[in-house]
Amino acid sequence: MSTAARSAPHLQWSLVVPVKVLARAKTRMSAAAGPHRQDLALAVAADTVAAALRCDRVRSVIVVTDDPLPAAELAALGARVVPDEPDAGLNPALVYGAGRSRELSPDAGVGALSADLPALRPDELARVLEGAELAPESFVPDAAGIGTTLYTARPGVPFSPAFGGDSRTAHRARGARELLLGDIDSVRRDVDTPDDLRAALALGTGPRTAAVAARLPALGAPA
């Protein structure tokens, strides 16, 4: 490998993070979280965004949301917030956010990152994004092996996320490269259920999620 190749800068990434209106977020946590459900949803999103912003491969985080509370809190962390347009579901919102990110950073890759990764480690995210440099489109399956926690497209590549349902199969079918790397548990551990949250807490979540979880006595026993 030439000296020039070894010293070439790594690709930087803009990550689009969709955040639901809190009143509709984390509904599968209703029984366990009770009156703290919306606080938990906000804490999980904030820990996810904070960790992503600490990753040295991430140039910017674009949050797509129509809820003013997470918009204000995530903007204070350093994210750029855009509205949910065209308000037609998750994938159209991600495409809109990706379009805005490419206007701001046309030389960066674009990724769609789940807002449900409270144990996210910046170094693990960096390893994933390094792997994503090697294919036009890539994705990371969730811990259950059914969904997707991260989808990426290199600069100039059409951004075509397929989140929802069995998105692992959908992304594979579209030709995206599956990134099954070692030691990236925090990138795969999304949180939708009480058992998911227990698993994330075992990995070590960010401080906001840990603080809310400490107020949930229902987490003391398996769901």
Residue 48, annotated as binding a ligand:
no
Q: Residue 48 and residue 25: Cα distance in Å, rounded?
A: 15
Q: Which amino acid is at 102?
A: R
Residue 14, annotated as binding a ligand:
no
Tell me the helix, strand and coil percentages in the chain, rounded to 5.
45, 15, 40
- CA 104 to chain centroid: 20
Q: Is 15 helix (H, G, I), strand (E, B) or coil?
A: strand
User: Nearest-CA neighbor of 59 among 102, 90, 6, 19?
Assistant: 102
Residue 167, annotated as binding a ligand:
yes
Q: Residue 115 and residue 98: Cα distance in Å, rounded?
A: 15
Q: Residue 101 and residue 84: Cα distance in Å, rounded?
A: 14
How open is the CA angle 18-21-25, to the nearest 5 degrees? 85
At a CB cut-off of 8 Å and minimum separation 6, what does 111 contact?
A: 13, 14, 15, 16, 129, 132, 150, 151, 152, 153
DSSP string computed for 100-112: HHHHH-TTSEEEE
Q: Quote the tokens at residue 170.
A: 């959908």
Tallying the residues shown for the chain, one arrives at: 223
Q: Which residues are annotated as a binding site for phosphoenolpyruvate?
A: 148, 164, 167
Q: Which residues are annotated as a binding site?
A: 148, 164, 167
